[in-house]
Amino acid sequence: MWERREMTGDIPPDLSGFCGANINTKLYIFGGYETAGYSSQMFSVDLSEPCCSWKRVTDTKGTTPSPRNKHSCWVHRGRLIYFGGYGCKTLRELRNTSSSNFTLEEMSWSRAVNEVTLCKGWNSEVNVFDTLTATWSMPETQGSAPSPRGCHASALLGNKGYISGGVEAAELDMFCLDLDTWTWTKLDISSAFAPLGRSWHTMTPTSDHTLFMYGGFGTNGDTLNDAWQFNTQTREWTKMINPHKDKPRVFHTACLGRDSDVVVFGGSRNLRIVMDSMVILRLPSPHHCRDVLIFQTQPYSLSRLCEDVIGQNSELLRLQLSWLPSKLQRTLEKRMSFFSASS
């Protein structure tokens, strides 16, 4: 059931490629691209309040990350931990940045309004925002870090953050960052069992050691419709049975639902590559999607199976529903509404 929220306050500008993350009842968004260029601003809103009012996060301590979009975020112990993205740095910032943490895009420099020269490119930085102290920091990481990238997928399992894709590699890579020791590990995966390399896909934790991946834009130039599960203990990919093969997705979102279901929303069902004599442009087609896809990743409990059977046969069993406790009746009403809308 959708619910529309009216938003007031210091409303963020229209943005693309920003990163949103939720801590308790508060939503934070950081970065993105607007008409004025790449952004390094942060906004927050408490979604538990009757009237939701945006606030610009100011008076922060530490060094704010450079403007960017197409980055990702892990939420861990009251902190927002951002990785990667595409954006701009000044020449001074570029001189103080390791070449392994920033890949400069050739012929990308430009001059800002204040005549500061800006250089654009991809980064592999890890930036941390402590929401309790409003402090930015950049921990020094160790180990085999991912190459600079954006448009990747990320997920959190326990104290480990995972990153996959976002680069032009034939097979999908996987990296893990220990958020206690700040140590990167590249996970060795057999190329014979690895999914096709991709960007703009989603990765969702479904248990203590499994990640569910769906869709994206493949290195073969196609919008993908495959679903996979990655076991972080065995470091193996398993291709999942997919009930939505006719619905490829790119630029979509995904989150964990009830009973380890993965709920996918939005995105585009087709991404076209437009060839030009001077440059290759990747443009999203107008085939935007607003349907909700649900993927079952684990066997359902007997209770859930019973709810689904009743929901699918509501007219036949409606008389008997009045015999049930009120709390169970409300649960079953939701299931009946779901199957009614699905049909």
pLDDT given for residue 286 in this prediction: 62
Q: Could you tell me the pLDDT band of residue 291, with boundaries at 50, 70 and 90?
A: very high
DSSP code of residue 41: -
Which range among 86-100, 134-148, 279-293 shows the weakest confidence by mean pLDDT? 279-293
pLDDT score of 114 more than 70? no
Least reliable range by pLDDT among 47-56, 86-95, 129-138: 86-95
Instruction: Give me the percent of the chain exceeding a pLDDT of 70.
Output: 92
Mean pLDDT within 208-227: 96
pTM, to two decimals: 0.91
Is there a contact between 271 and 220 (Cβ–Cβ < 8 Å)? no
The residue type at 275: M
Inter-residue contact 137 to 130 (CB < 8 Å): yes
> Please, which pLDDT band fits residue 315 given cuts at 50, 70 and 90?
confident
Mean pLDDT, residues 301-318: 92
Decide if pLDDT at 108 tops 70. Answer: no
pLDDT over threshold 80, residue 24: yes
The band of 88, judged by pLDDT with boundaries at 50, 70 and 90, is very high
Kindly state the DSSP code that residue 323 receives in the 8-state scheme.
T
More confident residue, 159 or 283: 159
Residue 276 reports pLDDT greater than 60? no
CA-angle at 15, arms to 13 and 20, nearest 5° = 105
pLDDT band at 109 (very low <50, low <70, confident <90, very high): low
Structure tokens at 83: 């990785």
Is the model more confident about 289 or about 274? 289
Token digits of residue 165: 């894709």
Pair type for strands 183-186 and 142-143: parallel
pLDDT tens digits, residue range 36-75? Answer: 999 999 999 999 998 999 999 999 999 999 999 999 999 9
Confidence of residue 318 (pLDDT cuts 50, 70, 90): confident
The three-point CA angle 246-272-279 to 5° equals 160
CA pair distance 64, 134, nearest whole angstrom: 11
Q: Which of 6-15, 105-114, 196-205 shows the lowest per-residue confidence on average (mean pLDDT)?
A: 105-114
Residue 107 has a pLDDT of: 61
CB 171 within 8 A of CB 164: no
**Nearest CA to 229 among 269, 172, 185?**
172
Q: What is the pLDDT of residue 191?
A: 77
Q: Which pLDDT score is estimated for 285?
A: 54
